[in-house]
């Protein structure tokens, strides 16, 4: 909690005080102190953009305030604010609270990290009965002044005084109904005056106090409210969800900016834009604007705005200014910018800019194009794209060959296809998500309060709002498919009903949305995987050139392997042979092998498995040629191939209950039951499996080794370049590895003799038992490579059985922070990582060219990959869809290696 620095006892005047900086003075790099938005406004001002004048109140002031709210704002803050208001008065020639030419300001929150929509903002502050007429006079637009006033009363009432929106909305709707107005714009000045009076009444009624008229009182209350919003539920939830810690952002700054007006007539307007298309990455101005409106109208999705391109016709000169602004922003920030602008009577103001949130495809495309345009270096291009983001690009898309007619068409707000049961409410989405159900959150429009529903949903569908609506922005940030503004759907959230043409949809009905096309389908549609874009290929090739780590895939079948190659895998790091045993036509032979009473009976079953496995390997080697294929010998305990005791008992009792009892079949089942009981283990994770099976039943491993080496020999005979690697699981002693090594050498000699070709191979071991780590020097005498099996190694290091832990206590551990992550998803660098690092060091002591990799689930996790790079591994191996993620992560790890710090 501690403050970064003790406050000075007595703040001095503007320019040298600690709490307040004008945009002309603030350090544009100091986001911790000024917040992201404030720092940006300072920077924008100082690089010569047309930003309305204003000042920033620091995050430090916020923290001091929050530390003891009863004391009010920190001493000296308000005098400094007044000093700066006087500065604004000088710059604008307006007067704060002045009847003539009044100065109005916006008060906006902004912490060090961007938290869109999470905290509060007040516009038009400074309005009261007095300044209202001044504003009307000053602008010659009475209606505008009243419109601003009623907006201000509602916003201030809600944000600063805690009056719920509904109280205001009800009155507004009544007045509109009485006036026969469709939209807010249809209301006349007298209507708005009535609204203002009603709104003032709402505030008095709700707070027991009249609405504050004094602009400085308004300002003080607003500053406190913004400060307070930092600890509001929404903001706290958001920070927790995105792991924003106090180190990263602590407290919000407050930006006080002279108001400019987009609602001063048809030569005014407001908009938000991206310097490039955040959905596709295309190098074009992208955004939306509304004529004669304030910015809130766009963001909240209340009115559906026009594409910014329309400005080229409607306001060609301003459009040129906008294009110039775009170039200036990208040139300065070397990053796609998401900016807000307002046009006040033909003058373009830039109100805010920040790095644009983009989906993966856009991020990739802009990275590659900006590199080509000379805006960024290749390294910057690689570092710009969070590896995790690439997963989005591999999200399934609706199968283009499907015949289904869309039920509705909306705006393609965030790409990818999603399918799930309809829920109409974020809370219910969250509840269903906890149960593992796939849901689509369907709303008229979404609000910041709905954020928890986004996390839980597969996708989001709204009937209102555009590409920059709350739903669209948040969904893109999360990489979740979103269709926005699907106006053909009528959503009645209170009744939990949605109407599409003649269909009435209720909660639980299945829907498929395609965020890439904006289409909405009833029922579940087939999906397909996307192709790689050229830009992604380019970026990943750069990544491969940069990375030190190789990226392999975990793949068990030729189909898996083909996909892995498509995704750029440089080989197979883990082929689990037992998966080959599980196929329907093979399992009976495997069962026969397990039930065998004598080595001869077992051999007979193995003799039938041999040609099958050999064919498997041959296919795999052919697909992967000339890349290496690492085959792990049988790992799971025997009983995993048999039915459970309960299943067998149930089946036997079913068989007994039949009218015609088949005694022979029952006897067969009883034999299996006896075997299952004999094989029962108390802790199968730590049981009779892996190399321990090889010691007790060497003939099984011999068969597998034979299948691998014979397949390789056949490939060699056919001229295929193969590199099989034989890997032994669960090793914990050197003698175990020697035992299998001897088997391999024997079979290898036999195979080379029989085929009369040289069969290349490498021999290595999984390192997934703690003792293997501790005996690394000795194991590497025999093993040419180590492959960390971080799934099992995590279990052994924590003494956590994964299934049991995830069912019983891990969620609570994560919730109360006993563990920050699930160690089965995120490699535990501080504990297991330490053991891994020592293992690598010890193993290479004996064999300096020992190849070391990782083939657990962590192999596809960017943070874990960074650690793997840090400790000098040679490769990571992960599931095919994570291969692109891993390739990029490997490159980033190489680029960022110097600043890797391990906790002590």
Residues 701-730 that bind its own copies (CB under 8 A): 730
Least spacing, CB of residue 591 vs its own copies, in Å: 19
Q: How many CB atoms lie within 10 A of CB 19?
A: 25
Annotated catalytic residue within 482, 773, 855, 868: 855
The dihedral of CA 473, 541, 569, 789: what is its sign? negative
Interaction between residue 735 and its own copies (CB under 8 A): yes
Q: Which one, of 70, 114, 73, lies nearest residue 356 by Cα?
A: 114
As a whole number of Å, the end-to-end CA separation of the chain is: 22
Asked if residues 588 and 607 have their Cβ atoms less than 8 Å apart, the reply is no
Nearer to its own copies, 313 or 683 (CB): 683
The yes or no reply on residue 777 touching its own copies (CB under 8 A) is yes
* Binding residue (CB under 8 A) for its own copies from 15, 116, 488, 684: 684
Residues 714, 736, 857, 874: which binds its own copies (CB under 8 A)?
A: 736
Question: Among 172-180, 204-212, 404-412, 812-820, which window interacts with its own copies (CB under 8 A)?
Answer: 812-820
Any bridge partners for residue 459, and if so which? 440
Can you say how many angstroms the Cα of residue 833 is from the centroid of all Cα atoms in its chain?
A: 24
Spatial separation of the C-alpha atoms in residues 55 and 63, rounded to whole Å: 18
CB of 735 vs its own copies, minimal distance in Å: 4
Cβ 792 to its own copies shortest distance, Å: 7
Q: Which stretch binds its own copies (CB under 8 A): 171-179, 280-288, 468-476, 831-839?
A: 831-839
Question: Binding of its own copies at residue 674 (CB under 8 A)?
Answer: no
Cα separation, 634 vs 590, in Å, equals: 12
Identify which range of 262-270, 436-444, 517-525, 762-770 contacts its own copies by CB under 8 A. 762-770
Decide if residue 644 touches its own copies (CB under 8 A).
Answer: no
The CA distance from 577 to 5, in Å, is 60
Structure tokens at 17: 């005080």
**Which ranges constitute the DSSP H helices of 70-188?**
77-92, 129-139, 142-159, 165-179
- How far CA 878 is from CA of 12, 364, 557, 787, 867, in Å, comes to 59, 22, 14, 12, 15
| Cα gap 101→99, rounded to integer Å | 6
Site for its own copies contains 867 (CB under 8 A): no
| Closest distance to its own copies from the beta carbon of 813 (Å) | 7
Q: Alpha-carbon distance 176 to 3, whole Å?
A: 49
| Residues contacting 857, CB < 8 A, separation 6+ | 790, 791, 824, 825, 878
Check binding of 732 to its own copies (CB under 8 A).
Answer: yes
Contact between 649 and its own copies per CB under 8 A: no
The Cα–Cα gap between 692 and 594 comes to 15
Whether 350 is a known active-site residue: answer no
Q: Does the footprint of its own copies cover residue 682 (CB under 8 A)?
A: yes
Q: Which of 801, 821, 870, 896 binds its own copies (CB under 8 A)?
A: 801
Which part of the chain contacts its own copies (CB under 8 A), choosing from 71-79, 250-258, 623-631, 770-778?
A: 770-778
Q: Which one is catalytic: 142, 470, 723, 869? A: 470
Residues written for the chain = 904
How many residues of this chain interact with its own copies, rule: CB under 8 A? 50
Kindly tell me which residue out of 153, 572, 796, 865 binds its own copies, with binding defined by CB under 8 A. Answer: 796
Under rule CB under 8 A, residue 866 binds its own copies: no
Vertex 292: Cα angle to 286 and 293 (nearest 5): 70
Among 86, 831, 872, 897, binds its own copies (CB under 8 A): 831
Compute the least distance from the CB of residue 896 to its own copies, in Å. 25
The reply to whether 775 sits near its own copies by the rule CB under 8 A is yes
Peptide bond into 626 cis (omega under 30): yes
683 binds its own copies (CB under 8 A): yes
- Which of 688, 755, 762, 870 is close enough to bind its own copies by CB under 8 A? 688
Does an H or E element contain 619, and which?
helix 599-624
Residue choice 769, 782, 871, 886 for contact with its own copies (CB under 8 A): 769
For residue 240, state whether it binds its own copies (rule: CB under 8 A): no
Least gap, CB of 593 to its own copies (angstroms): 17
**Which one of 666, 774, 784, 870 is in contact with its own copies (CB under 8 A)?**
774
Please choose, from the candidates 722, 367, 391, the residue with its C-alpha nearest in 3D space to the C-alpha of residue 541. 367
Please give the Cα distance from 423 to 607 (Å, whole number). Answer: 55
Does 792 sit near its own copies (CB under 8 A)?
A: yes
CB-CB neighbours of 30 under 10 Å: 17
Between CA 684 and CA 678 the distance in angstroms is 13
305 touches 291 (CB < 8 A) = no
* SS3 label, residue 350: strand
Question: Which range touches its own copies (CB under 8 A), out of 298-306, 343-351, 526-534, 825-833?
Answer: 825-833
Clarify whether 855 is annotated catalytic.
yes
Q: Which is nearer to its own copies, 556 or 792 (CB)?
A: 792
Residues with a catalytic annotation lie at: 470, 855
- Chain positions contacting its own copies, by CB under 8 A: 681-688, 692, 695-696, 730, 732-733, 735-736, 739, 768-771, 774-775, 777, 792, 795-801, 803-805, 808-809, 812-813, 816-819, 828, 830-832, 834-835, 904
């Amino acid at each position: 909690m501690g403050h970064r620095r003790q406050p000075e006892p007595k703040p001095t005047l503007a320019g040298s005080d600690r709490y307040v900086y004008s945009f002309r003075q603030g350090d544009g790099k100091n986001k911790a102190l000024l917040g992201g938005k404030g720092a940006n406004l300072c920077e924008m001002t100082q690089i010569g953009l047309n930003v309305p004048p204003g000042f920033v109140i620091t995050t430090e002031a916020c923290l001091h305030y929050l530390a003891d709210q009863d004391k009010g704002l920190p001493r000296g803050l308000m005098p400094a604010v007044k000093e700066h208001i006087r500065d604004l008065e000088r710059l604008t020639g307006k007067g704060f609270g002045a009847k003539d030419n009044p100065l109005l300001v916006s008060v906006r929150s902004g912490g060090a990290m961007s938290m869109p929509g999470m905290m509060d903002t007040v516009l038009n502050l400074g309005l009261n009965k007095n300044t209202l007429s001044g504003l009307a006079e000053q602008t010659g637009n009475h209606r505008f002044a009243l419109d601003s006033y009623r907006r201000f009363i509602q916003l201030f009432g809600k944000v600063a005084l805690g009056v719920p929106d509904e109280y205001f909305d009800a009155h507004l709707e009544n007045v509109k109904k009485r006036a026969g107005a469709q939209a807010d714009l249809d209301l006349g000045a007298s209507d708005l005056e009535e609204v203002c009076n009603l709104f003032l009444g709402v505030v008095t009624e709700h707070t027991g106090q009249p609405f504050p008229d004094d602009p400085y009182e308004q300002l003080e209350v607003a500053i406190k409210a913004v400060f307070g919003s930092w600890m509001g539920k929404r903001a706290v939830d958001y920070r927790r969800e995105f792991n924003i810690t106090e180190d990263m952002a602590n407290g919000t700054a407050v930006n006080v900016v002279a108001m400019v007006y987009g609602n001063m007539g048809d030569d005014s307007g407001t908009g938000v834009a991206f310097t490039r298309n955040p959905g596709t990455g295309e190098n074009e101005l992208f955004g939306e604007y509304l004529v004669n409106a304030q910015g809130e109208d766009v963001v909240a999705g209340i009115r559906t705005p026009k594409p910014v391109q329309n400005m080229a016709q409607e306001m060609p000169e301003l459009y040129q200014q906008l294009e110039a602004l775009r170039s200036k922003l990208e040139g300065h920030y070397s990053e796609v910018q998401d900016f807000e602008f307002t046009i006040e009577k033909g003058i373009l103001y830039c109100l805010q800019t920040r790095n644009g949130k983009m989906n993966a495809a856009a991020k990739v495309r802009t990275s590659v194009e900006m590199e080509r345009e000379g805006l960024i270096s290749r390294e910057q291009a690689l570092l710009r794209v969070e590896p995790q983001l690439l997963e989005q690009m591999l999200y399934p898309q609706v199968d283009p060959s499907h015949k289904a007619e869309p039920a509705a068409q909306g705006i393609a707000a965030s790409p990818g296809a999603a399918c799930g049961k309809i829920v109409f409410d974020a809370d219910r989405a969250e509840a269903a998500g906890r149960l593992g159900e796939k849901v689509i959150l369907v709303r008229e429009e979404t609000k910041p309060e709905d954020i928890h529903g986004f996390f839980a949903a597969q996708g989001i569908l709204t009937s209102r709002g555009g590409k920059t609506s709350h739903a669209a922005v948040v969904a893109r940030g999360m990489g979740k498919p979103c269709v926005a503004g699907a106006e053909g759907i009528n959503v009645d959230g209170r009744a939990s009903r949605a109407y599409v043409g003649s269909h009435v949809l209720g909660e639980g009905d299945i829907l498929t949305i395609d965020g890439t096309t904006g289409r909405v389908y009833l029922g579940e549609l087939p999906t397909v995987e996307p192709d790689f874009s050229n830009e992604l290929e380019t970026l990943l090739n750069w990544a491969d050139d940069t990375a030190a780590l190789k990226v392999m895939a975990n793949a068990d079948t030729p189909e898996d392997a083909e996909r892995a190659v498509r995704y750029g895998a440089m080989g197979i790091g883990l082929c689990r042979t037992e998966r080959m045993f599980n196929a329907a036509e093979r399992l009976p032979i495997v069962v026969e092998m397990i039930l065998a009473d004598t080595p001869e009976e077992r051999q007979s079953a193995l003799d039938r498995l041999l040609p099958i496995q050999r064919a498997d390997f041959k296919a795999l080697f052919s697909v992967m040629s000339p890349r290496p294929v690492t085959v792990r010998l049988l790992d799971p305990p025997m009983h995993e191939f048999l039915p459970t005791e309960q299943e067998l008992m149930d089946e036997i009792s079913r068989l007994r209950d039949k009218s015609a009892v088949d005694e022979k079949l029952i006897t067969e089942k009883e034999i299996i039951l006896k075997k299952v009981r004999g094989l029962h283990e108390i802790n199968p994770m730590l049981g009779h499996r892996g190399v321990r099976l090889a010691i007790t039943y060497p003939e099984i491993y011999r068969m597998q080794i034979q299948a691998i080496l014979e397949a390789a020999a056949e490939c060699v005979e056919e001229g295929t370049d193969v590199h099989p690697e034989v890997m032994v699981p669960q090793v914990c002693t050197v003698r175990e590895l020697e035992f299998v090594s001897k088997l391999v050498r024997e079979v290898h000699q036999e195979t080379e003799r029989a085929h009369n070709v040289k069969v290349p191979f490498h021999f290595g071991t999984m390192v997934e038992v703690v003792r293997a780590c501790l005996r690394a020097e000795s194991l590497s005498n025999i093993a040419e490579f180590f492959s960390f099996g971080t799934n099992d190694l995590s279990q052994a290091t924590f003494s956590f059985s994964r299934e049991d832990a995830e069912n019983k206590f891990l969620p609570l551990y994560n919730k109360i922070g006993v563990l920050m992550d699930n160690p089965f998803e995120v490699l535990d660098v501080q504990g297991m990582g330490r053991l891994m690092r020592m293992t690598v060091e010890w193993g290479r002591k004996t064999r300096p060219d020992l190849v070391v990799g990782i083939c657990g689930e962590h192999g596809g996790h960017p943070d874990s990959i960074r650690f793997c790079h840090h400790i000098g591994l040679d490769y990571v191996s992960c599931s095919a869809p994570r291969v692109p993620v891993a390739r990029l992560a490997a490159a980033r790890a190489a680029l960022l290696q110097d600043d890797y710090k391990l906790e002590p």
